[in-house]
Amino acid sequence: MDEKLGEFLTSFNTAVTLAQEYRGHADEHRRIATALSGFMSQPGGELPVVAENFPAHRFADLDIALEKLAGSDPEATLLGMGGGQQRHHVDLADIFHEGYSYIPVGQPDYVNLPTGPDSYRQALTLGIRLFRYQGSPMAVMQRAADPQSGRNTPSLSVLTADRAVAAAFLAEIQTELSRNSILRGQVVSFTHNPYGQEAAGVSFLVRPQLAEKDVILPPGVLGKVSAHVLGIAGHRSELQSRGQHLKRGVLLYGPPGTGKTHTVRRLLSASEGTTAVLLSGGSLAAVSEAAKLARAMAPSLVILEDIDLVAEDRSFGHGPQPLLFEVLDALDGLDSDADVAFIMTTNRVDVLERALAQRPGRVDLAVEIPMPDTGSRARLLALYSPDGMFSPQALSQAAEQSEGATASFARELVRRAILSALTAGEEPGDAHLLLAAEELMGQGEELTRSLLGAAAGAEDSGPGTGWLAASGESMGS
């Protein structure tokens, strides 16, 4: 019995040893380092790694470009990385170090990224592509930005025997990024990121659809702005042949609520196919990156809303108005052939005037969007009123009663008139409009008028001045 037990234990120990040896060999073949060295036909730790970082807002473009180049090899392979959270802290070169050589092959990591207002793409956030490029075996690790792991930008790390081949590959990636982009022709806004602008992406916005008839401005004003922002592109080659630059800066100024943003919406509506980058609030700090993007995606518009808010901001540099100067420098730094228009809006032109005077030539058209006159207010009320609901006489009388009113005021006036009629069980008519105007202009509604953008005690601006039927919507993300 003891002899048989001894034989059994000996056989069992032999089986365990063989199983452990087999498992060790199997684990070795499942390691990333082993897979890479096998594909390269030489120890991967002896090969150079060339890395390059990319802006976060170009990550989807990067994913598309790499998939295209790697896909030219029909035998290309995609490997994921196991190892739990540790894999997020390991570079391609680290895989061959003894401390990380245990990292196994796993499943690739993906993220769902927007490629337009209503479209998405599953992009590789962590994985290694094995393929041949110019006849040489190559391994490329693709990573998304991960600020929590200390990575503020997406990156590619290229492992190959010849650094010149790696350089050629990265150059072709850049060529693909310049030729093809999901951003081209889109309306985008930069996404604010607490880890810094280099970690921010973009949000896609639906391009506004706004007819010219819905924009109420003094005669010639909209045409002047449109010709300067959009018309120059129609004469691009002729201007360049005569030594004239294409970049331009436009400043739209006037009191709050008079329609500066609505003017921008009309420009966006009329510029189908033009790339537009919108910056407001904290994202204004990304103006330099926005200028680079606009240059790459030209023809482009860069919209800077409420630029006066950064005129006295000292948090992004030293000395007075550093961020505003950065905005002006970004415009000045564009090449003369860059078909890019900077459109700035401000409620306080006095804050900007000194800075603009210190940097002459950056803004070559300044247009005032003033408070409306009586005729413009009547046209606005007609725009917001259902056809035939109020007579022209009532619209004119209500316009005369509402001096200093803005678009939001007029829209609320019409809404109140209709609501008052419905509450009384009556069909809306002239009497309801005039009563609503009287109530809104009464002494008990000062704060309401202020919140709706109406100027207290404003005087009629007289013939020739007008305004635009502003929607009141922000162009921010």
pLDDT in tens, 20-53: 443 444 344 489 999 999 999 998 889 999 999 9
CA terminus-to-terminus distance, the chain: 82
Residue 84 to residues 24, 26, 109, 183, 456, Cα–Cα distance (Å): 20, 20, 12, 34, 63
> What is the spatial distance between Cα 231 and Cα 236, in angstroms, rounded to a whole number?
9
Q: Are strands 155-159 and 187-190 parallel, antiparallel or unpaired?
A: unpaired
What pLDDT sits at residue 85? Answer: 79
**Residue of 182, 279, 222, 327 lying closest to 476 (CA atoms):** 279
> What is the spatial distance between Cα 431 and Cα 93, in angstroms, rounded to a whole number?
79
Q: What is the mean pLDDT of residues 66-76?
A: 95
**pLDDT tens digits for 307-339?**
877 665 544 444 444 667 777 777 666 666 678
**Residue of 20, 46, 22, 44 lying closest to 103 (CA atoms):** 44
> How many other CB atoms are found less than 10 A from the CB of residue 387?
6
**Could you tell me the domains of the chain?**
28-179 (no CATH), 187-368 (3.40.50.300), 374-451 (1.10.8)
What pLDDT sits at residue 193? Answer: 58
pTM: 0.78
User: What radius of gyration do the chain's Cα atoms show?
Assistant: 31
Cβ atoms of 454 and 402 within 8 Å: the answer is: yes
> How many other CB atoms are found less than 10 A from the CB of residue 26?
9
> What is the spatial distance between Cα 317 and Cα 332, in angstroms, rounded to a whole number?
19
What pLDDT sits at residue 24? Answer: 41
Residues 6+ apart with CB under 8 A from 272: 185, 207
**Whether the predicted pLDDT of 124 surpasses 70:** yes
Q: Which of 27-36, 87-96, 195-204, 318-327 is predicted most confidently?
A: 87-96
**pLDDT tens digits for 284-301?**
777 888 888 988 898 999
> What is the spatial distance between Cα 445 and Cα 409, in angstroms, rounded to a whole number?
12
Find the angle CA(20)-CA(45)-CA(150) to the nearest 5 degrees: 95
Report the percent of the chain where pLDDT is more than 90.
42
**Whether the predicted pLDDT of 207 surpasses 60:** yes
> What is the spatial distance between Cα 122 and Cα 404, in angstroms, rounded to a whole number?
51
**Residue of 121, 90, 267 lying closest to 183 (CA atoms):** 121
What pLDDT sits at residue 12? Answer: 58
Please state the φ and ψ torsions of residue 31, each to the nearest 5 degrees.
Answer: -80, 145
Of the listed ranges 88-97, 209-218, 346-355, the least confidently predicted one is 346-355
**Could you please report the per-residue DSSP string of 286-332?**
GHHHHHHHHHHT-SEEEEETTGGGGTT--TTSSSSSHHHHHHHHHHH
